[in-house]
Amino acid sequence: MNAFTPEDLDFVMFICITTMGGDASFQFFLPRFLKAVLDGYPGFVWLSRSHVMASKCERVEWSKWKLRGRDAVFGALEAFAQFEEATDRAESSESHGHAG
C-alpha cells in the first residue's frame, strides 16, 4: 500500500464503485485517500472531489458501518470539503488578481 502515490489513490477513488471495485474496496481505500488529501499535496488537483466521495459513501451505505468508522469518515469528508472550499477560494482570488 505504501507504493501508492496520491495520484494512484485519486484514480482508484475516482473509478471505485462506479467503474470497478465494490464496497470492500471503497471502504479499504477511502481512509487512505482521505489521509493523502488531508496530508496536503500542494498543486495537486484531485479528480475525486468531496461531494463525489460523499455520494459514493451513500452508494456503499456507509451509514451502516461501525460508528467509529462512520464518525471518522464524516469528519474527514467534512475537513476535505473545507480544504476544497479554501483552496477554491484562494485560486479564485489569485485568478482575479486579489491577494489572499
Q: What is the mean pLDDT of each run of 10 residues along the chain (100 residues)?
A: 76 82 83 79 68 84 84 85 82 68
Query: Is residue 100 in some structural domain?
Result: no
Q: Is residue 30 domain-resident?
A: yes
Q: Where are the alpha helices (DSSP H) in 1-100?
A: 6-15, 23-39, 50-59, 67-95
pTM over 0.85: no
Residue 42: its pLDDT value, please?
57
Q: Which of 27, 25, 38, 41 is nearest to 78 (CA)?
A: 38
Q: Under a CB-based contact definition with an 8 Å cutoff, are residues 59 and 17 in contact? A: yes
Residue 66 lies in a domain: yes
Domain that holds residue 88: 6-95
Residue 51 domain-assigned (yes or no): yes
Cell of 13: 477513488
Is 79 part of any domain? Answer: yes
Is residue 1, in this structure, part of any structural domain at all? no
The predicted pLDDT at position 99 comes to 55
Could you tell me if 65 and 77 are in contact, meaning their C-beta atoms sit under 8 angstroms apart?
no
Structural domains of the chain, count: 1
